[in-house]
Homo-oligomer: A and B are copies of this chain.
Amino acid sequence: MLDNLAKFTNLKRDISEINIDPLQRGGILTPEARAALVEWGDGYSVCDFCGGMLDRIKNPPIEEFVHGVLPEFLGTDEVRITHGAREGKYAAMHALCEKGDYVVIDGNAHYTTVLAAERAGLKIEYVPSSKEPSYSISAQGYADAIERAYEQKGNVSMAVLTYPDGNYGNLADAKAVANVCHDYGVPLMLNGAYAIGRMPISARELEADIIVGSGHKSMAASGPVGVLGASEEYARTIFRLSPTKKNKEVELLGCTVRGAPLLTLMASFPAVVERIKAWPEEIEKARWFSCEMEKMNMVQLGDRPHNHDLMFFLAENLYEISQTAKKGRYFLYRDLKERGVSGIKPGLTRQFKLSTFGLSREMLQKVLGAFEDIINSY
């Protein structure tokens, strides 16, 4: 087994020219991040000049990035680097909630929010969405869920809103949700994995207490890396110091991203700040794309008009084709790939999500052309 290992080297990424997987659109490296990867690739390279705290390293200027720039960028008091959004959610839950407590989670939440709660030993009370076609999450739903947890004599120690969610790209009224949660004295955590780095967002403006983001999902960084922000009140507990090891934050196990991904996050950051300014055009492009898809009888679910690049489509026509097509439900994956488009999961036809983020209208026209071509060819 340990003799034939060459297969693990020289692996190529076999992917189409256009990748519309929402997971991949916001994580494409900038040239600056690519250069950072090469420069800082070695093992623990960022630690050469560390005095004991990752976020206090002055060369490279991690301290300025983490303590100066990121809190302003996220609109929060304190920020730390994490391995990603899920690790940030777990850290916050683990620090702020007691085993057996309730956490209230929107019904559109990413599975990792559920896993973070399960890992922290928390019970979950869901805020159901309005179901098809809008799948919206209401502020009132949070009040109802908190009340239901109370009826079970539960202690609700956190609420989470996925903003936007990763299925429909819906942006709920976060501020209204925060207000409801605060009426009950419950802190609100925003999962901004699909927001931070794509669109303007401020925890303070939305009155969220905690916010997590993902470098690899939406900040043009190499994974795994993320950000965790919190208001002073909660930061104190989440980022508490070890009672025995000087300057080491317990919840972060001292330090988190001791490697190149952090440097890619920093290197891409100026470009990320720039691209967020073009968010209105991104929305416009997404709406146009959605409209063109609907002309081909595929229906966009979720918020309408849509406010995000991540969109969910219902395609009965593609499903019908799959019933008789060669390779069955894998036809769509194959046919799109033949036309230079990837990112819709193999086997999906009736419903799928995609993202238009960072793709030019010309590229998106190619995607639309591929769908049209496929539909017409059966």
Contact = CB atoms under 8 A, between A and B. Distances in A.
A116 interface: yes
Contacts of A224: 83, 224, 256-259, 261
A116 to B, nearest CB: 6
Interface string A34-59: 11111111111101100000000001
A323 B364 CA distance: 69
Interface in A82-114: 83-84, 86-87, 90, 94, 99, 111-112, 114
Most chain B CB atoms below 10 A, which of A1, A59, A99, A115: A115
A29 B40 CA distance: 10
Q: How many copies does the complex hold?
A: 2
A168 B335 CA distance: 60
A270 interface: yes
Interface string A176-213: 00000000000000000000000000000000000000
A147 B266 CA distance: 50
A326 interface: no
A144 interface: no
Contacts of A47: 23-24
A152 to B, nearest CB: 18
Contacts of A215: 43
Interface string A214-225: 011100111111
Nearest to A83: B83
A222 B41 contact: yes
A36 B7 CA distance: 13
Contacts of A243: 118
Interface residues of A, number: 92
B41 A115 contact: no
A254 B111 contact: yes
A6 B269 CA distance: 9
A262 to B, nearest CB: 9
Given A223-B258, A224-B257, A6 B270 contact: yes
B253 A87 contact: yes
A336 interface: no
Contacts of A11: 36, 39-40, 60-61, 263, 266-267
